[in-house]
Amino acid sequence: MPGPGEKNNHPVRRGQKPPSAPEGSEGKEMSMQELYRMIPGVDFFMGTPGMQELAGRYGRGPVLEKLRRELEKLRREAAALTGRKEILTGEGEESFPRLREQFEKAVRAVPDRVEESLREGEQGRLRRVINATGTVLHTNLGRAPLSEELLKKAAEKLTGYLNLEYDLEEGRRGERCGYLEKQLARLTGAQSAVVVNNNAAAVLLTLSALAAGKEVVVSRGELVEIGGKFRIPDVITQGGAVLREVGTTNKTRLEDYQNALGEETGLVLKVHASNFSMQGFTQSVPAKELTGLGVPLVWDLGSGVLADLEKLGLRHEITVREAVASGADLICFSGDKLLGGPQAGIILGKKELTDRIRRHPLMRAVRIGKLTAALLETVLEEYERGEENAASKIPALRLLGEEAGELRRRAKRLAALTVKAAGNEGKWKQTEEKDGEGFCCRIGNWQLETGPCLSLAGGGALPEQTVEGAALTVSWMGPHPGGAAGRLQEELRKNRNMPVIACVEKNRVRLDLRTVTEEELPLLAEALAAALSETDEGGDAP
């Protein structure tokens, strides 16, 4: 038997009026069944072009699920209305004709509500976003960005099968990522290397393989916590080792390490301050001085860098090659921070120790797959062509090294593109002012202004360094300013075509151009113009 509403022979299309109630029913009590007949059935909705387009985009199953939920809501609403006799008989202030009109409007809105529900359900999916925060290695946005050129080169290796664990020369099974590990050894001067899925796994695997059941000596000033509550003391315990703290929070001397050594010592762990800085009355022991203690020295660099950052206009940060030259037995660092590659944990150093690590049972649980291997190998190939090449081809290095003058030009272009995008809609009055390097304009109640700003490396790297850049700042100039910047930030973030992640400072939205590429400017301008329109509340510039 057909369900309620399925006798209607006319599908509802967007903008089309749904079937009306029977003639002459105004002011008369209607049954629930008569209200139900105002609701088209599932098949009729699914036959409309709009719903077919949604089915092609999201899949028929998810669209049907959302549609049935929306229709069920309408049926519940119909049931609630039939229970209000004073409305249906016209005895109350709200007559049935008025409520019927509202009900018909709700029916017409079903396709739009289905689409909105599908979009909301999509929020958790991975999507490309525009990073306008100025934080180059933004942990929540994937850390080091990868260029289309790098991805294409990696895709050539990944299309079809590849020799991930096969020796083409010998025609038999080989070492997984053997070539990748040789690349790392060549670039850093290390004897050998091991690659796992992230630096946390690198530290855990190293401790499990070399110090299980033994003491790990660490300075109290280096017992750090990084993102996600990842704490060095917890990792040491999880690796089956015993933490032996030496020194104090702000001062640790060589004799503190020497006095802690004994038969139970497994290794000394030095943790580089890559995500924090300590200033004032402090003292620490350089890695080179710890190499003569007679036990393995493991140095966790956190964010390892292969390039000389001074050539990019930044302060010096110890490179992996310099760390290897210090004499440390093993060095661990990330692949997706200052190196500029995919997420990976890299362990390199003495072959005797890396062989022990490679044989540990935990190694299989944390090894990398073909996607990471191909991407990391491709990034390292750019380093093999020279630091200057790497600085231009690896996005993280290129973004960090861009000069402030170029970013000022980009900020002005973004403002101009936004004015153009806003003007195309013909909604707002616009004025422009150019003062030297600056650019200022009004779009409705919003003021756009370019100016200097300071960017960060982020991602647990270079904690003491800021980089001079340029930003486009958007300020609310109309009445009731409270929360205006937050609303604009939300509109940018929820943009359907290209979400934009921006910062709010002192009730102003700041779009830092250091992390916005030239190719992204038109997309960002369109998103910003749409967000300004949505949040302007109809105000006009004075």
- What is the model's pLDDT at position 36? 74
**One-letter identity of residue 220:** R
> In this structure, are 326 and 202 located in the same domain?
yes
Judged by DSSP in three states, 193 sits in strand
| Domain final residue pick, 347, 368, 389 | 368
> In this structure, are 314 and 199 located in the same domain?
yes
Q: What percent of the chain has pLDDT over 90?
A: 62
Tokens of 31: 């049954």
Quote the strand ranges of 156-229, DSSP E. 166-167, 172-173, 192-196, 215-219, 225-226
The DSSP line for 48-71 is: SHHHHHHHHHH-HHHHHHHHHHHH
Lowest mean pLDDT among 141-145, 443-447, 485-489: 443-447
Q: How far apart are CA 421 and CA 434, in angstroms?
A: 19
pTM: 0.81
Q: How far apart are CA 207 and CA 216, in angstroms?
A: 8
> In this structure, are 362 and 261 located in the same domain?
yes
> In this structure, are 357 and 469 located in the same domain?
no
- What is the model's pLDDT at position 251? 92
Is 6 within a domain? no
With beta carbons less than 8 A apart as the criterion, state whether 502 and 133 touch.
yes
Judged by DSSP in three states, 433 sits in strand
pLDDT in tens, 482-505: 889 999 999 999 998 899 999 999
On the question of pLDDT at 531 being above 90, the answer is: yes
> In this structure, are 234 and 333 located in the same domain?
yes
With beta carbons less than 8 A apart as the criterion, state whether 47 and 25 touch.
no
> In this structure, are 335 and 243 located in the same domain?
yes
pLDDT in tens, 125-138: 889 999 999 999 99
**One-letter identity of residue 399:** L
> In this structure, are 469 and 520 located in the same domain?
yes
Band of residue 94 on the pLDDT scale cut at 50, 70, 90: low
With beta carbons less than 8 A apart as the criterion, state whether 526 and 421 touch.
yes
Is 17 within a domain? no
> In this structure, are 443 and 355 located in the same domain?
no
Instruction: Name the nearest CA neighbour of 309 among 318, 299, 300.
Output: 318
The DSSP line for 498-535 is: S-EE-EEETTEEEEEGGG--GGGHHHHHHHHHHHHHHH
With beta carbons less than 8 A apart as the criterion, state whether 66 and 114 touch.
yes
> In this structure, are 342 and 409 located in the same domain?
no
pLDDT in tens, 195-243: 999 999 999 999 999 999 999 999 999 888 876 677 899 999 999 999 9
Domain count, the chain: 3
The parent domain of residue 46 ranges over 32-121
Q: What percent of the chain has pLDDT over 70?
A: 85
Number of Cβ within a 10 Å radius of residue 170: 8
Is 230 within a domain? yes
Is 75 within a domain? yes
> In this structure, are 430 and 298 located in the same domain?
no
Band of residue 266 on the pLDDT scale cut at 50, 70, 90: very high
Judged by DSSP in three states, 361 sits in coil
Give the phi and the psi of residue 240 in degrees, each rounded to 5.
85, 10
Q: How far apart are CA 133 and CA 437, in angstroms?
A: 21
How many CA atoms does the CB half-sphere of 422 hold within 13 Å? Answer: 30
Q: What is the mean pLDDT of the chain?
A: 86
| Domain final residue pick, 368, 392, 418 | 368
> In this structure, are 335 and 452 located in the same domain?
no
Q: Specify the CATH number for the domain of residue 213.
A: 3.40.640.10
Q: Specify the CATH number for the domain of residue 463.
A: 3.90.1150.110
> In this structure, are 421 and 312 located in the same domain?
no
Is 233 within a domain? yes
**One-letter identity of residue 79:** A
Give the phi and the psi of residue 26 in degrees, each rounded to 5.
-60, 135
Q: From edge to edge, which strands make up the β-sheet containing 508-512?
A: 430-435, 438-443, 446-458, 461-476, 508-512, 503-505
Is 139 within a domain? no
Q: How far apart are CA 391 and CA 389, in angstroms?
A: 5
On the question of pLDDT at 8 being above 60, the answer is: no
Q: Is 425 exposed, middle or buried (0-12, 13-18, 19+ CB in 10 A)?
A: exposed
pLDDT in tens, 468-482: 999 999 999 988 778
With beta carbons less than 8 A apart as the criterion, state whether 422 and 529 touch.
yes
Judged by DSSP in three states, 531 sits in helix
Is 325 within a domain? yes
Q: How far apart are CA 339 and CA 401, in angstroms?
A: 14
Instruction: Name the nearest CA neighbour of 363 among 216, 230, 175, 215.
Output: 175
Is 155 within a domain? no
- What is the model's pLDDT at position 81? 67
On the question of pLDDT at 79 being above 80, the answer is: no
Instruction: Give the residue-averaged pLDDT of 434-449.
Output: 78
| Domain final residue pick, 83, 100, 121 | 121
Q: From edge to edge, which strands make up the β-sheet containing 330-334?
A: 192-196, 345-349, 330-334, 297-302, 265-271, 215-219, 242-246
